[in-house]
Every structure is written in structure tokens, then in C-alpha cells.
């Protein structure tokens, strides 16, 4: 009791434990979820990605092997995007817009994508949808007095016209091997009332390809109205790189005819000495033979 009295403040924190414990109990339950994402870029035709996952507590676990049907605008045989797609080990499956739906796609500025799971016990009948405005990114560059500027514009289709979209968060960077490198100090930029972002390209001496080209990338990620948008542009703002290719040089890992000279010298030297000695010994046998024949004659 003394201990309890002394540490009575501990009771203040008890209510805080309740939600933690509750969430701990929730984590046992697995709720199947289906979600959709829309992707559009200047490099590919638009496509949608479905994610089949279990919601476990606050986390999501991918579910492999969920079969999904995709529709454009409404669930009907005529609006079917694909026959079916099955999610992979990351719980993902994609479907690109088929040519057959071109007219439906062109007919409206806004579209709804619908995904419907079937044939899977827990996911059967589960639906997900996403509504997007047709939008695009355009990327322009200019260079004056040594200052390089990147300008990105976000526009969306409204009544058949491309209108600027303000307050859209986007990223601008350079495509490297595995990620996108920032070109300035900001992680993200927001479009102004003209749907534009202007920023200075501050990176110098960045290795590019053989001609010094870099790939500039602008992207909008997981926007509620526009989905995922991406645009790329190649600019000659890097340093030309001619990587040293030693493929044709002699090395231990080179192909047959390109063994290192020292290895050839050592190996053939040793083989030559050993086999030379053995051939000498064979001659000795013939010498013994000759001596024996001479003795008997």
C-alpha cells in the first residue's frame, strides 16, 4: 500500500494504456481490403493498379493470388478493362486501358475505375473504386546567363479544354538508377494559380550519360483528384561520362581468350616444367629399353 501511495501518479497513465491494449487486440483481426491507384505518364498509356491487402492493426499485409476484374465508369460487360488479373506476392495487379474503351475514355473529362474481386473466400465480392480527372503534367526548361530553370505545369481537362490546376503538390528531380534526386532544396513544390511551378536547377557537375544528358522528372503522387502523374524530359545539363569498360581486357573474370598474362605465364610455365620432366622420364624408359636390348644382343 505504501508503494501504491508513493507511486499513485502511475494511475494517471493507466487510461493511456487502454487504447494501446485495444489496438493490440485489434491486431489479431485481419480485414481484407482492396484499393485502387491511377497512373498516367507521358511515357505509358494510363493504367490502374489494385492492391489486395489485409489490414492488421495499423499495418497492411499484401495478399497474393486475389483475382480482380476492372471496369471503367460502371460495372458492365462492355466496360470491362481486363478479363481478370491476379495479384502478385506484393498484393498488386495492374490493368492498362484497352483500345476498345478509347471512345468511352475520350467521351468524358472524369472517369471512375472500379475493381471487383471474385472467387477468393475473404475477398469475394469486395469492391474498390477511384474517380479521377483527366490531367497531365508538362515540363519545360530554359537556360539564361548560366541559370537553368525548370517549369512544370499541371493541367486538367474541363469541358474539353486543358485548364491549369492550382495547389497541387508535386516533386521535381533527376532520375537516377534507383531513385529521384532533388534538384533544389525543397522536397515538394505546389502549383500557383496558373498551375505552374518554377524552380532553379542548382546541381552542377552531375554525371550524366555519354552525352551529358540527364532525365528530369516531375511527378504528382497519390493526388485525390488526379491520381499519379509523371512526365520526363531529357536535358543536356550533366557531365558527359564515359565509363571505363574493362570487359575486353584480360582479367580473372574475363572470357576464355582473355586470361591475365601473368596467369597464363605461371600456369603454362608450371605445366611445361612438370610435363617436360615427365616427357624426359618417358625418354629415360626408352633409354632403359635400349640398354636392355643392347645387352641381350
Query: Distance between CA 240 and CA 41 in Å, rounded?
Result: 27
Q: What angle do CA 45, 48, 54 make, to 5 degrees?
A: 160
Cell of 30: 485481419
Q: Which is nearer to another protein, 110 or 289 (CB)?
A: 289
Q: Is-contact 220 38, C-beta < 8 A?
A: no
- Region binding another protein by CB under 8 A among candidate stretches 24-32, 73-81, 178-186, 254-262: 254-262
Please tell me what DSSP assigns to residue 187: S
Binding region for another protein (CB under 8 A) out of 51-59, 135-143, 163-171, 260-268: 260-268
Instruction: Give the SS3 label for residue 260.
Output: coil
- Least distance CB 273 / another protein (angstroms): 9
- Identify which range of 52-60, 206-214, 238-246, 288-296 contacts another protein by CB under 8 A: 288-296
Q: What is the DSSP letter of 100?
A: G
Nearer to another protein, 88 or 141 (CB): 88
Nearest-angstrom CA–CA distance, 125 and 75: 13
Give the one residue of 197, 256, 262, 297 binding another protein; rule: CB under 8 A. 256
Size of the site for another protein (CB under 8 A): 28
For residue 88, state whether it binds another protein (rule: CB under 8 A): no
Q: State whether the Cα torsion 243-248-254-260 is positive or negative.
A: negative
Q: Point out which residues bind another protein (CB under 8 A).
A: 252-256, 259-260, 263-264, 267, 271, 274-275, 277-278, 281-282, 284-285, 287-293, 295-296
Amino acid at each position: 500500500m505504501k508503494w501504491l501511495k508513493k507511486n499513485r501518479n502511475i494511475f494517471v497513465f493507466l487510461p493511456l494504456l487502454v487504447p494501446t491494449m485495444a489496438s493490440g487486440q485489434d491486431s489479431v483481426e485481419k480485414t481484407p481490403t482492396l484499393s485502387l491507384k491511377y497512373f498516367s505518364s507521358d511515357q505509358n498509356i494510363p493504367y490502374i493498379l489494385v492492391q489486395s491487402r489485409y489490414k492488421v492493426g495499423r499495418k497492411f499485409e499484401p495478399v497474393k493470388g486475389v483475382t480482380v476484374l476492372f471496369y471503367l465508369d460502371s460495372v458492365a460487360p462492355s466496360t470491362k478493362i481486363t478479363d481478370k488479373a491476379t495479384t502478385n506476392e506484393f498484393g498488386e495487379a495492374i490493368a492498362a486501358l484497352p483500345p476498345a474503351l478509347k471512345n468511352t475514355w475520350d467521351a468524358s473529362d472524369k472517369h471512375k475505375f472500379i475493381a471487383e474481386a471474385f472467387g477468393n473466400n475473404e475477398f469475394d465480392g469486395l469492391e474498390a473504386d477511384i474517380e479521377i480527372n483527366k490531367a497531365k503534367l508538362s515540363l519545360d526548361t530554359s537556360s539564361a546567363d548560366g541559370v537553368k530553370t525548370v517549369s512544370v505545369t499541371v493541367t486538367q481537362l474541363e469541358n474539353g479544354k486543358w485548364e491549369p490546376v492550382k495547389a497541387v503538390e508535386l516533386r521535381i528531380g533527376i532520375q537516377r538508377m534507383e531513385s529521384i534526386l532533388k534538384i533544389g532544396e525543397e522536397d515538394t513544390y505546389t502549383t500557383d494559380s496558373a498551375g505552374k511551378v518554377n524552380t532553379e536547377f542548382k546541381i552542377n557537375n552531375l554525371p550524366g550519360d555519354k552525352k551529358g544528358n540527364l532525365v528530369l522528372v516531375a511527378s504528382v503522387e497519390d493526388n485525390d483528384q488526379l491520381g499519379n502523374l509523371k512526365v520526363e524530359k531529357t536535358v543536356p545539363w550533366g557531365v558527359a561520362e564515359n565509363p571505363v569498360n574493362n570487359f575486353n581486357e584480360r582479367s580473372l573474370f574475363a572470357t576464355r581468350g582473355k586470361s591475365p598474362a601473368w596467369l597464363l605465364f605461371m600456369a603454362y610455365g608450371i605445366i611445361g616444367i612438370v610435363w617436360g620432366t615427365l616427357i624426359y622420364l618417358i625418354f629415360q624408359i626408352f633409354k632403359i629399353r635400349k640398354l636392355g636390348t643392347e645387352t641381350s644382343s
